[in-house]
Chains A and B, each alone.
Chain A
Amino acid sequence: MIEFRAVTKRFEDGTIAVDELDLAVEAGTITVFVGPSGCGKTTSLRMVNRMIDPTSGTILVDGKDVLSVDPPTLRRGIGYVIQQAGLFPHRTVLDNVATVPLLSGWDRRKARTRAAELLEIVGLDPAFGKRYPAQLSGGQQQRVGVARALAADPPVLLMDEPFSAVDPVVREDLQNELLRLQAELDKTIVFVTHDIDEALKLGERVAVFQTGGHLAQYARPTELLAAPANDFVASFVGRDRGYRTLTFLHADVPVRPVATAKLGERVVVDDWTLVVDSENRPRGWLSGVDGEVEVREQDLVSGGSLYDGSTLRGALDAALSSPSALGVAVDESGAVIGVVQADDVISALAKARAAGEVPK
């Protein structure tokens, strides 16, 4: 869908921002450009919608050379989301989202209706439409930015570090929203970030750039983790790449039964007992005491993270962070199904290796 052919960008002062880039972005995927500052990832992105023009080489979008189209027309067919959103402070949220349709000549009412639909799609209450950007939080502004980029239903979406300026909790929300959106909309998305975890989480294909504008490796996340192309990629992906690989593995980890008790009950506690509420959701742990005791709130030890059955990483983390070394496994409603142990996770990993599931 997007092709870079020997694209080079040299600035007036001589710095080479992008060096002979050859890369093809598949339609309908999320491709992430990642790398340290000055590696050319943002420059490469901005050449797709001609915010910057290449010094040499060709960029094709849907088979057409971008240089053959005049920039404003090109940009109206490509969604563009940037850090800090870049919303127009003097327009309401609704009018911000309706920008591109209005530019393209849509009828005003039609544009506004579409804008309202999009606010819902990105998870905002349509009542936000009447507000002004200054009245929104950072995360909300970003959602509006995404809505604005999607308004004219472009096939391609360019995102330049869109989630870097918000706090980690909000960022995780936005990342999950993006994945959900993509599942529904199936756009071709090019996403730039300097955060390797974000890249591995979001990208179906990840392009790692090195300082000086070189493309070091372009592969699926699991390949990057298991087989980094050079030392730079290996160190960029980080020391935890073995641990990170667990995020991509879904193997069966046996869930064992656990003794549970509710608040106020009188029980005999042998080793560790998991205390749950009336809906069977975990509240905390009670450690071994002699004889029978009444279960009280103040005696509880807080538990660790919860394993929702998805990845090995979740299972291992649940087991490691639990005070009892037993990771609590829950179902979709949050009710306890049982516990998992760290040893079982390692065995599951070994089985997956033996079965060839872990890429070489």
Chain B
Amino acid sequence: MGGWLFDPAHWSGPTGVPVRLLEHLGYTLVTLLIAAVIAVPLGAFVGHTGKGGFVVVGLSNALRALPTTAVLILVVLWAGLGDFPVYVALVLLAIPPIMAGTYAGIRAVDPVAVDAARGVGMRESGVLLQVEIPNALPLIYGGFRGAALQVVATATIAAYTGAGGLGRLVFDGLALQEFGQMLAGAVLVALLAVLVDLGFAGLQRLTVSPGLRPVGTGGKR
């Protein structure tokens, strides 16, 4: 693998490592953005009103049993090749964890604090945006991290059906019996997944209120 990875030829050109890396990141971030736009409001609405929670949780659980490879292949067979089907499959897989995380986060907010929020005169929208969501952030981030994991992994597999990204290194390598290339792809994907997860963890640390960290990490009684 070292041989393949450190050969400069593999780092340039339209099929070079940086290009594949960017493609992969592109799939991941775009998918998460689209999924977030759909899943966060839905999860927040269900969490805030308390209706339909069973569906949200059930859906998320059912998804664990679904082989992502099959979903990907079915979407491609139905919608054809190219990037669009890949995005459809990825977004479909990313929505349930984000929705479930948002829902769980909002349900976990201390009901006494929510009651107090209404009691001091906040409108329902205020209660949701100023109290419930900030307090739900840790679990919402959990949902995003789970979704990111799914997406990075599935985007790799998507290369099997012709998509770009680091998975290309794996499957091209397989086709050419170039094990160095395969290994390079696998290692890079593993690294990317870990880095994306760390990135979210860092973002979480920055954006979540220090008041929500477990007591004992930087506070006095």
Quick check: do A and B touch in the complex, using CB within 8 A? yes
Tell me the A residues contacting B by CB distance below 8 Å. 49, 51, 71-77, 80, 82-92, 99-100, 103, 131-137, 145, 148-149
Contact B121 A84 (CB under 8 A): no
Chain A residue nearest in CB terms to B124? A72
Of B29-37, B91-99, B206-214, the segment with at least 4 beta carbons within 8 Å of chain A is B206-214
Identify which of B121, B135, B221 contacts A73 (C-beta below 8 A).
B121
Q: Which residues of B contact A131 (CB under 8 A)?
A: 219-220
What 10 A-B pairs have minimum CB-CB distances, sorted nearest first? Answer: A86-B116, A132-B211, A75-B121, A76-B121, A90-B209, A80-B119, A135-B219, A86-B112, A90-B134, A72-B121
Q: A134 near B211 (CB under 8 angstroms)?
A: yes
Which residue of chain A has its CB nearest to the CB of B131? A88
19 A-B pairs (CB sep. < 8 Å): A49-B119, A51-B119, A73-B121, A75-B118, A77-B121, A85-B116, A89-B113, A90-B208, A92-B211, A103-B120, A103-B126, A131-B220, A132-B210, A132-B219, A133-B211, A134-B211, A134-B212, A135-B220, A137-B221
Distance between Cα atoms of A86 and B122 in the complex (Å): 14
Given contacts A72-B122, A82-B112, A88-B117, 13 further A-B contacts (CB under 8 A): A51-B118, A71-B121, A86-B112, A90-B137, A91-B209, A91-B211, A99-B120, A132-B210, A133-B211, A134-B212, A136-B221, A137-B221, A148-B120
Interface size counted on chain B using CB atoms at 8 A: 26
B115 an interface residue at 8 Å Cβ cutoff? yes
B221: which A residues are within 8 A, CB to CB?
135-137
Would you give the 0/1 interface string for B103-132, flagging 1 where the beta carbon is closer than 8 Å to chain A? 000000010110111111111001000010
**Secondary structure of the B side of the interface?**
helix
Cα of A241 to Cα of B118 in the assembled complex, Å: 39
Residue in contact with A134 in the complex, picked from B112, B115, B208, B219, CB distance below 8 Å:
B219
In the docked arrangement, what's the CA distance between A76 and B122, Å? 8
Tell me which residues across on chain B come within 8 A of A49, comparing CB atoms. 119
Set of chain A residues within 8 Å of B118, measured between Cβ atoms: 51, 71, 75
- CB of B9 within 8 A of chain A? no
Q: Which of B123, B208, B209, B211 contacts A72 (CB 8 A)?
A: B123
Which of chain B's residues have a CB closer than 8 A to the CB of A90?
A: 131, 134-135, 137, 208-209, 211-212
Select from chain A the residue with minimum beta-carbon distance to B130: A88
Collect the chain B residues with CB atoms within 8 Å of residue A75's CB: 118-121
Q: A89-B211, A90-B209 are in contact. Are A103 and B121 (CB under 8 A)?
A: yes
- Report the nearest B residue to A84, measured CB to CB: B112
A136 CA to B211 CA in the complex, in Å?
11
Task: Answer whether A86 and B211 are a contact pair too, CB < 8 Å, given A72-B121, A73-B121, A75-B121.
Answer: no
Q: Select from chain A the residue with minimum beta-carbon distance to B111.
A: A86
What's the nearest-Cβ distance from chain A to residue B188, in Å? 38
- Distance of A131 from chain B, by nearest CB (Å): 7
> Taking A90-B212, A132-B210 as contacts, is the C-beta distance between A82 and B121 under 8 angstroms?
no
Flag if A87 contacts B122 (CB, 8 Å). Answer: no
Provide the residues of chain A in CB contact with B113, threshold 8 Å.
Answer: 86-89
How far apart sit A77 and B120, CA to CA, in the bound complex (Å)?
9
Which residues of the other chain, A, contact B66 by a CB distance below 8 angstroms? none
